Amino acid sequence: MLSGSRITTVRRLTLVIVLLAISACTDPVAENTLQRSRDIPKWYDDAKLGIFIHWGPASVPAFAFGPPLRPGELEDILFYDSPREEMPYAEWYLNAMNYPGSETARHHAATYGDAPYSDFQPTFERRVNQGWDPDTWADLFSRAGAKYVVLVTKHHDGYTLWPSGATHPHRQNWGSSRDLVGELATAVRARGMRFGTYYSTGLDWSFQMVTDGDMIRDILLSAPASQAYADYTHEHMVELIDRYHPDLLWADIGYPSKGRQGELFDYYFTQVPEGTVNDRWGAVDDLGQIARIPGATWVLKALGRLLLTSESDPLADDPARFGYKTAEYDSLPGTPAFKWESTRGLGGSFAFNAAETAADMLSPAELIDYLVDTVAKNGNVLINVGPDSYGHIPDIQQAPLLGLGEWLSINGEAIYATRPWSRFKNLRGRELRYTQSDTVLYAIVIGAVEQSFTIEQPGIASSSIEVLGAEVVRTQDHDGLLTLTLNKPLNSPAVVVRFNVP
């Protein structure tokens, strides 16, 4: 137990860290730019469904150890004592193989000996050139019902999926000579979808990587703080904007504090007026400098725990943040006023993990439930695919996407261009999620239904009631419940009841 004086000391240290963290995560962005970045374009709010793609040299070993993250477990890993010693993400292979004694290190030694990670580059590039077809991907994403696609153009390993003109100060030719980004952008846009670019802004292990054993400290210390990295990142971001005009800029694990973020945003929104950004732009490299102070890691973890436990309303907006909020392998407990995006892999990893089976993937019904729940809470879903090193999206990943697309072809009007209702779910009866348009309230029944089924009566005046994909032959109101009888059974993972509002 802490004594009173020690508690006071901890509080003072925490206050200092809070102030440092706030300053570290705030960049001198012009006020009009800050406001513009929070002004989410209508197309994004209407889209609801995007596809995320993690692909690169890590797709060659295609290995990750451990079960999928459970909701909220990232917070446990970062701020609490967690038994996990490595991330269950195959795209973290380079990092995990450098932890002595890790399962990934043992796998790498047994399979590849002492070969460096860079040896995967020629294998990846040779396999991609043997037959990757961006049109095949774009066709699949369109059939799945996606309205936008976000490609990982550079992950934490630093490898770029386009032939960049920026000079890497530590490694020559660490990137694709084939313009994978441009080819996919063209294929995606030809099918009417928007195109966005993910870029690992906060981490680049080809510049700096620390693997001492404490995950949060290692992540913070691995964030390059040099002016050279800030300039390199800024040059890359401008290059992506100039070449591809991405509809989304998706940053990860912060942005370099010396990277002229305000200037970058001004340029981006000038070039792409209908563009949007996510919310992961804080200056993590400044926090890395704090982590070098002896004992600071413990204080940073304590701060994280304090902020998590004292957060009175996770649905409240934070005026200091910009862009749309992102949740990873997690959700929100209710409907916030702000726009957000939920992302996860179809399985437990983002990049391809060869050990995963069909049983590890979301089923079509689970994917539909995930989308419906998120949209009812004012969110978008960015569902990830992890192609293999040949550029093939495994059949076990395609199956849930195609199941979702088939459902959306009948029920998409209850998803696209809708907005949240006064509540996101039912108060009684079987599980529902609600969305609405100007003249319609949609009640989406979670799970399959019989030919006759009962839901709550939402308590609104409606001119007629319909069920998408079938004809309603009889309705019966009783005790605040509504029983609907259809002309045929619906073999569907979720059924949409349409209340037409006069």
Res. 211: pLDDT tops 70:
yes
Res. 82: pLDDT tops 80:
no
- What does the pLDDT read at residue 38? 64
Residue 152 lies in a domain: yes
Residue 323 lies in a domain: no
Closest CA to 39 of 210, 251, 277: 277
* CA Rg value for the chain: 24
Chain centroid to CA 417: 20
44/174 same-domain check: yes
Res. 317: pLDDT tops 90:
no
- The phi, psi pair for 354, rounded to 5°, reads -65, -20
- What does the pLDDT read at residue 296? 80
- What does the pLDDT read at residue 480? 92
Q: What is the largest CA-CA distance in the chain?
A: 73
CA separation for the pair 96, 189 (Å, rounded): 36
Please give the angle made by the CA atoms of 433, 316 and 16, to the nearest 5 degrees.
145
- What does the pLDDT read at residue 27? 42
Confidence of residue 78 (pLDDT cuts 50, 70, 90): confident
Bridge partners (DSSP) of residue 466 are: 498
Res. 31: pLDDT tops 70:
no
Among 23-37, 76-90, 209-223, 321-335, the range scoring the smallest mean pLDDT is 23-37
353/478 same-domain check: no
Which helix (H) or strand (E) segment holds residue 472: the answer is strand 472-478
Q: Following DSSP, what letter does each residue of 433-462 receive, concatenated?
A: EEEE-SSEEEEEEES---SEEEEE------
Res. 70: pLDDT tops 90:
no
Size (the chain), residues: 502
- What does the pLDDT read at residue 459? 92
Per DSSP, the three-state class of 95 is: helix
- The phi, psi pair for 232, rounded to 5°, reads -60, -45
* Single-letter amino acid, residue 221: L
CA separation for the pair 451, 199 (Å, rounded): 48
Res. 92: pLDDT tops 80:
yes
- What does the pLDDT read at residue 7? 30
Res. 30: pLDDT tops 50:
no
Residue 320 lies in a domain: no
Strands 481-486 vs 452-456: parallel, antiparallel or unpaired: antiparallel
- What does the pLDDT read at residue 482? 97
Strands 194-199 vs 148-154: parallel, antiparallel or unpaired: parallel
353/220 same-domain check: yes
Bridge partners (DSSP) of residue 456 are: 481
- For the chain, what percent of residues have pLDDT higher than 90? 77
* Single-letter amino acid, residue 248: L
347/461 same-domain check: no
Per DSSP, the three-state class of 425 is: strand
The string of pLDDT tens digits covering residues 456-493 is 999 999 999 999 999 999 999 999 999 999 999 999 99
HSE, CB side, 13 Å, CA atoms: give it for residue 137: 32
> Token pair of 416, please?
């696209």
347/479 same-domain check: no
160/80 same-domain check: yes
Question: Which residue intervals of 311-377 are DSSP H helices?
Answer: 364-376
- What does the pLDDT read at residue 308? 65
Give 23: exposed, middle or buried? Use CB within 10 Å, 0-12, 13-18, 19+: exposed
The string of pLDDT tens digits covering residues 177-196 is 999 999 999 999 999 999 99
Average pLDDT, the chain: 90
CA separation for the pair 484, 473 (Å, rounded): 8
Range of the domain at 461: 432-500
Mean of pLDDT values over 110-121: 98
Q: What is the dihedral sign for C-alpha 70, 355, 407, 337?
A: positive
The string of pLDDT tens digits covering residues 272-292 is 999 999 999 988 888 888 888
Residue 409 lies in a domain: no
Res. 26: pLDDT tops 80:
no
Mean of pLDDT values over 299-305: 76
The string of pLDDT tens digits covering residues 370-385 is 999 999 999 999 999 9
140/265 same-domain check: yes
286/222 same-domain check: yes
Residue 331 lies in a domain: no
First to last CA, the chain: 63
Residue 441 lies in a domain: yes
- What does the pLDDT read at residue 198? 98
Mean of pLDDT values over 105-121: 98
Closest CA to 456 of 482, 421, 476: 482
pTM of the model: 0.92
Sheet (strand 432-436) strand order: 432-436, 440-446, 494-500, 464-467
124/269 same-domain check: yes
Residue 399 lies in a domain: no
Res. 309: pLDDT tops 80:
no
- What does the pLDDT read at residue 240? 98
CA dihedral 149, 333, 419, 146 (to 10 degrees): 20
- The phi, psi pair for 411, rounded to 5°, reads -115, 10
> Token pair of 167, please?
């000079």
CA separation for the pair 201, 293 (Å, rounded): 24
CATH code of the domain in which 122 resides: 3.20.20.80
Residue 172 lies in a domain: yes
74/209 same-domain check: yes
| Number of independent structural domains in the chain | 2
Q: Name 258's Cβ contacts closer than 8 Å, sequence gap at least 6.
A: 225, 227, 230, 231
Res. 86: pLDDT tops 60:
yes
Asked which of 353, 382, 411 is the last residue of a domain, the reply is 382
353/450 same-domain check: no
Chain centroid to CA 244: 21
Confidence of residue 51 (pLDDT cuts 50, 70, 90): very high
360/483 same-domain check: no
